Structure 1
């Protein structure tokens, strides 16, 4: 289903869309309406979700984005988680966390269990779950929760409000926390509210924070001279909040004690006006101071708090007056929280000082009560005792020509009279919003002293007045005569009467139709459980609200009818133009030279990148490649044939027998025969063996030869002999083998 053309035209303008969604959010049940709008039309989904999640007052909506099976109780996500979340369980938190710009954690409310922080620290998928967070409010009473704020301290954080509560509780990690804060981020707004003393090195730890525009230091030690010197030289500081309660005037003056000698303050030589608050002298010291500056050469002075325009001070009226005397800059917004009721003399001095020093620049003034004053009023309201009312006079407001907003909310100083309204209308002609103790409640003993007719000067003189909240006594409305014709306002649109008294509803409606013929809204307290509620007055104001629109229409009709319809006659009259008056004036043409220094420091920006790698599960076959290799380990052998046949010598012996000669041989031939026997080859007769006698050396040599030579050779010879035995006998032609011979020894 597509969007209608009108919706598309609205969505084309981002600013118009933003304004419409913000208006819906501020209306009753605004969040529920925006949620339904986001679910109805796809075109409105993204802008509506951005407005819904832009500001959170707790961590509970963040915890509610976890899957239901992880929560201890689905309807109470703040109780914590049963099991740690997995990576897929963070998807919604990461999707919606980028839309959150402001968030608050309040440990005192106890709506979030502290067990969720360890889960965030250990299992979060990213460093910062809220990457676009701009403002963080951290209220804690436990020291261990201080360091847990680092989960949300992104580099783009612009504002931090730190509340350290708990009586007697010490925060040992506070210096380290402030050091990390000062060195890693560039804040534009920083506020610390602590019940313990600040570290001695507090200004040094926050010295790198040179871009702070809004600073609030409410803690013991905030008025030290070192803190004052550091705050006074912040070049972009526009708003400052300090607590002066329970401090002496000497301590208040000590805040400015260590300012450099060149800093300009009202008490220094360059201050050319006298406050006149505490002295009645009217001597002008301007020329004297200028002469002193020329003589000393001390004309180049730096200004303390150069950009300060908004100031919030808490304490007694005397301490606030002492602090304001040290400031000379043009304040535009001043909020003071005083002890109610204030001392009459101190309130007079404070009113005179505000009008004289900041009257030409002050556009908003708000006066509230300290916590002790509110607590006293709360005790009286619960005990049903009548409040002790006092008067806060406005007659000391002399001149506030540009003041547009005045709000006074005091529980005891709630009585205003007609002279206060007259003085206020005369001193502040450009008022647009006035609230004078709209929650005040009165008893029969002390009724409201302002009547509806007493508001005529305020309606007549303040032509820009569009909002008025004041408690009046409308029971004695005058019925004779009517209000002056000039006491009517075309700009007054909203009126809040609180616990105002009323009896004659018709007369009150007539007066209101004259004072504010274009009045759109009339409000009063209708809650029965509110202290000071009177049901009769509530019903009467309801009737006034019902009658007023009809009387307004009647009033406007009468005024249109009362305008006479006259014929317009144009006459031309020759009038000599008067000669304009002239006068001789001398102009000081001295050139004013101003030395300006430019801070040429480059602006650096620290950006953090979410470098979460994308992971993928992969399996790898890690089996190594192998091959079967067979190795022949058999050693190589070579067959070599060796002819081991020994060399043999065949010796043939002629064994042929012959017949011996019959002739006897002589002895000499026998000796020759013996000689021939030595050579058997030459033997002609049968072989005969003779024992030859050799010397002993020869016998030894022969023994050795037989033992070491002949015997080793005899073994293979026997083998060969056995081999050759198988061979057939050689035909030797009658030769006789040697082994057949019988040798005789």
Structure 2
């Protein structure tokens, strides 16, 4: 059998999902995944498909990376390396849904920056399709950004009150640009961003939208929601809104007629502007009377499921303007509802959605359930009020009707008769099965005889949940087989009262011979528990299967006894056919020749299509100007008389006898002084030929080279060469150059 299941992936998936939904399902499925390799992969896929926290993902890291291996949410002891991500990457492909709750405080805030900065892939969960994120701070909402992937299809956001418009706007813009959603839910105590519709204008594939926030009933949101081409499910909160505000949701959807509408009723009396009267009741009555409904044919074209929360009067106003044929309607109303508003709502549902509505659920708001919880905690007696179902008159397609209210739990036999007449195709009926009645009260008003009315008219009814005052059934019902239902298999009686278990068992074996599940409350710690009733219903559960088996045998015997052979009679029939001759004149058809002249009228037209051309010449000769510049260098000749002047003096140099020795010494000194001119002459010679002449020659050559390009010569003439001879220098010194020749300088030898 196991091999057969594993051959069909769909069958294996259904089996593992059933195991997961059972008590301790995750533990059982994890053990099954470790049983064999053939069952490991499909079991792990189901086990890791939906996670209620990111703690299991953190537990995939090695123990050395985490601060505490048994509590991965406390954070990392060190930065994970690339090899530490192997197991995370392997299992991340299986995850399809993840949830996060900041108030749970089971994951340290330091974990998210490390995951975001050191992830080895672009997306941590590449196959993620659904996110459920509850944040109380902007930092908690920013952590959701790392899980936004192109495969994401569903986002459920629940944020606190500590958010600014700019922070929410930035997140919605990022989310809308990175994903294409089919389901979007936004729950916030603060109002929607002003640019909410512009931020989600790209999300045209939305099929389900939930908006529970102030500003969700604005005209802009209504226009945006009505234009979604694939919108099939819508949930709105009308709590605390006026009828005019609810009507404003449709202001931009359908045009106004120009007539006086309830929204145009002024609250000013016109006499004293300071004294205003309350026209709320007048508006409600006007909304009931006026049926100014001009919905657009294209608005909410695909809407099939609708859930509205609030007062019954506001819900009725909303449904009057809705043009869609709803299939499922969920009403979360304030309990107890106003009697007049509830009657209008029930009649409106029967009139507007009689041909399409298949499921109707009525439950209480959170505030109503909280009030009931407070009464239960304080040991107070439950408050029982009547909720009339007689307003539902014509719902031929309705298959599911559920009512779950904490206070409006009293139902009369007329309610069941109205349901049986208006809902012939009903399959599931639940009328406050959790209700409890104290012994001081009158108890439940419904009996098992009234259940038989449903089994007679609703042939498809298979599940019933209600509180009965069970007793002995009537003889008329026991004697008729029309009240016996072959479809009723589940009966939930809750805190029902019971008198005689045997009589109840006999009656149920007749009314519901195929009943498989009889459920009642057996928990002693449940509020409203009655031990005597619980034991009696347990006795019914034990006796009923045996009585059903007995009745089945009796029906089998009755069928055998009723078999009789039919009487036979010989009858002769004359089967001679009657023949009739008939002739039909088939004259040729009449021919008619008709001609139609269809000569077309022709018109000849010519069009002059000569292209006009213009010849334009442009003188593009650039203007030139010739200018001559005289670049003759200015020569200056300068002479300097460097002749040394001599002066002759006579000196008596005859030495005296006394200074002979001095003369001898002076003569020696003079001999040495005579050598000085020779030395000076040699130095002068070296200076003249080794230093002065090369410098003079190079300076002259440089001046001639610099003056040559700017000097103009006539044609057929050549520039005169320059001679470096001493004679040439002497002849041209005064006219060609301003240099001073070395010959003009007299040097003393």
Query: What TM-score, normalized by structure 2, do the two folds share?
Result: 0.70
SS in structure 2 at match of 1:526: coil
Aligned match of 1:259: 253
Partner SS for 2:488:
coil
Q: How far has the Cα of 1:420 moved from its partner?
A: 0.8
Q: Which position in structure 2 is the counterpart of 1:314?
A: 309
> What is the distance in 2 between the residues matched to 1:453 and 1:68?
65
- C-alpha distance in structure 2 between counterparts of 1:356 and 1:97, whole Å: 51
1:173 is matched with which residue? 167
Tell me the equivalent position of 1:23: 18
TM-aligned CA distance change 1:445 to 1:504, over 3 Å: same
Aligned residue in 1 for 2:581:
none
Question: What residue number does 2:215 align with?
Answer: 221
Q: Pick closer, same or farther for the CA change 1:567–1:177 going to 2, 3 Å.
A: same
1:414 & 1:574 partners in 2: Cα distance?
70
8 Å CA contact 2:449–2:477 kept in 1: the answer is no
Query: Out of 207, 212, 219, which is 2:206 matched to?
Result: 212
Conservation of the 8 A alpha-carbon contact between 1:407 and 1:436: yes
1:193 aligns with 2:187: yes
Tell whether the 8 Å contact from 1:127 to 1:151 is kept in structure 2 after alignment. Answer: no
Question: Is the Cα contact below 8 Å between 1:138 and 1:161 reproduced in 2?
Answer: yes
Shift of 1:8: 2.7
Residues 420-446 of structure 1: CA deviation (Å, up to 9, x unaligned):
111111110111111111111110122
Counterpart position of 2:495? 499
Deviation at 1:301, TM superposition (A): 6.3
- Tell me the residue number matched to 1:567: 565
- What SS does structure 1 have at the residue aligned with 2:112? helix
1:598-617 CA distance string (max 9 Å, x none): xxxxxxxxxxxxxxxxxxxx
Aligned to 2:532: 536
Counterpart for residue 182 of structure 1: 176
The answer for the alignment partner of 1:230 in structure 2 is: 224
Report the CA distance between 1:161 and its aligned residue.
0.4
Q: Distance in 1 between matches of 2:523 and 2:163?
A: 40
Q: Distance in 1 between matches of 2:325 and 2:136?
A: 38
Structure 2 matches for 1:592-631, cutoff 5 A? none
Offset, 1:475: 4.5
Unpaired runs of 5+ in structure 2? 262-284, 574-673, 683-749
From 3, 24, 32, the equivalent of 1:8 is 3
Query: Structure 1 runs of 4+ off > 6 angstroms?
Result: 570-575
CA displacement at 1:165 relative to structure 2? 2.0
1:324 matched to which residue of 2?
A: 319
What is the match of residue 78 of structure 1? 73
1:464 aligns with 2:460: yes
| Residue 305 (1) aligns with residue 303 (2) | no
Instruction: Determine which of 121, 130, 149 is the counterpart of 1:126.
Output: 121
Q: TM-score, normalised by structure 1?
A: 0.70
Matched, 1:448 2:459: no
Cα shift readout 1:99-153 (whole Å, capped 9, x = no counterpart): 0111111122233232321221222222221110111110111111111101111
Which of 466, 471, 474 is the matching residue for 2:470? 474
Contact 1:21 1:34 in 2 (8 A): yes
After superposition, the Cα gap between the structure-2 partners of 1:541 and 1:69, relative to the gap in structure 1 and judged at 3 Å, is farther
Out of 346, 356, 374, the residue aligned to residue 361 of structure 1 is 356
- Larger helix proportion of the pair: 2
**Matched position secondary structure for 1:108:** helix
Cα distance in 2 for partners of 1:246, 1:572 equals: 83
2:633 corresponds to: none
- Give the number of aligned pairs: 550
1:488 lines up with 2:484 in the alignment: yes
Question: 2 CA distance for matches of 1:461 and 1:231?
Answer: 40
Superposed CA offset, 1:197-253 (max 9, x none): 111110011111111110111101101111111111111111111000000011001
What RMSD in Å do the two structures reach over aligned CA positions? Answer: 2.8
- Which residue number in structure 1 is paired with residue 657 of structure 2? none
**Alpha-carbon distance, 1:195 to partner:** 0.8
| Structure 2: distance between partners of 1:195 and 1:401 | 40
Per the TM alignment, residue 24 of structure 1 is displaced from its structure 2 partner at its CA by 1.7
Give CA-to-partner distance per residue, 1:649-701, whole Å, 9 cap, x none.
xxxxxxxxxxxxxxxxxxxxxxxxxxxxxxxxxxxxxxxxxxxxxxxxxxx9x
Q: Which consecutive unaligned segments of at least 5 residues does structure 1 have? A: 1-5, 268-274, 290-299, 576-699, 709-745
Q: Distance in 1 between matches of 2:62 and 2:678?
A: 114
After superposition, the Cα gap between the structure-2 partners of 1:506 and 1:704, relative to the gap in structure 1 and judged at 3 Å, is closer
